[in-house]
């Protein structure tokens, strides 16, 4: 074999060995502590320092770095209400659809905390409006449960489904009724919900409101004509639940409305 051919063959074997080693070698997982700029971005998100985020991102930091529970800088910035940091992260490519291990997206956090401005920024950046947690709860359901009408309005504006249900078949109206958020219930009624929906256990919004002692909500639901005598899979009615929960005012309201 000629000398040149021997050298070419040797180089080819060497390259193949290097490629095989690189393919088989374990890849390190990047964490905030392993890269200074990653850590700076995370710190900037937590403290609301938009300039720190921009400088670290320009220096090669990863705006989508994740902590031990799957949270990203965007999760922290949204959860703590740091709007300038939210904007800086999105400007540098932060993903809006990443979820923590518990399934919460940045938009879910904005909805839960009632941060309308953060929600609007995320939605304009393409955040999935109906992205749900493993239990089926969406940002809209959480906003309804927590009573954040301003966030409910913006989510519906961006076409969030008001007819979505969680894993137990609960509706967003049931979530609002359980906590007595009548203004949200009225909005949902205007959007086409009837207040008569049942979950997989045949529970109604009236039952949730009655059991939790939400007098104004019980009156509101009765005023739109819901059936006061529906029975859940357990065999109990709204009246039974109110009695068992010791909600005497609700018992009186239901009886006056014809509940048996």
Tell me the per-residue pLDDT of 180-227, one tens digit each, with 9 for 90 and over.
999 999 999 999 999 999 999 999 999 999 999 999 999 999 999 999
Question: How many other CB atoms sit within 10 Å of the CB of residue 57?
Answer: 23
- So what's the pLDDT on residue 29? 58
CA distances from 157 to 28, 84, 88, 114 (A): 42, 23, 24, 16
pLDDT (tens digit, 9 = 90+) per residue, 124-140? 999 999 999 999 999 99
User: Tens of pLDDT along 56-76?
Assistant: 999 999 999 999 999 999 999
Tell me what the mean pLDDT of segment 249-259 comes to: 98
């Amino acid at each position: 074999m000629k000398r040149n051919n021997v050298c070419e063959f040797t180089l080819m074997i060497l390259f193949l060995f290097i490629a095989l080693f690189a393919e088989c070698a374990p890849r390190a997982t990047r964490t905030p502590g392993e890269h200074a700029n990653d850590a700076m971005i995370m710190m900037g998100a937590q403290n609301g320092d938009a300039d720190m985020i921009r400088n670290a991102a320009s220096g090669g930091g990863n705006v989508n770095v994740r902590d031990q529970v799957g949270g990203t800088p965007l999760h922290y910035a949204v959860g703590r209400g740091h709007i300038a940091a939210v904007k800086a992260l999105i400007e540098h490519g932060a993903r809006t659809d990443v979820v923590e291990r518990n399934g919460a997206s940045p938009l879910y956090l904005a909805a839960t905390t009632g941060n309308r401005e953060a929600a609007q920024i995320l939605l304009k950046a393409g955040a999935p409006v109906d992205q749900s947690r493993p239990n089926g709860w969406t940002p809209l359901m959480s906003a309804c449960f927590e009573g954040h009408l301003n966030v409910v309005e913006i989510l519906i504006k961006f076409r969030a489904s008001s007819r979505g249900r969680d894993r137990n078949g609960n509706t967003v109206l049931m979530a609002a009724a359980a906590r007595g958020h009548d203004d949200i219930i009225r909005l949902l009624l205007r959007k086409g919900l009837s207040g008569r929906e049942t979950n997989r256990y045949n529970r109604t919004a009236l039952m949730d409101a009655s059991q939790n002692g939400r007098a104004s909500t019980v009156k509101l639901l009765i005023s739109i004509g819901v059936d006061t005598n529906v029975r859940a899979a357990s065999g109990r009615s709204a009246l039974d639940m109110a009695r068992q929960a010791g909600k005497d005012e609700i018992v009186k309201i239901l009886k006056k409305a014809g509940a048996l």
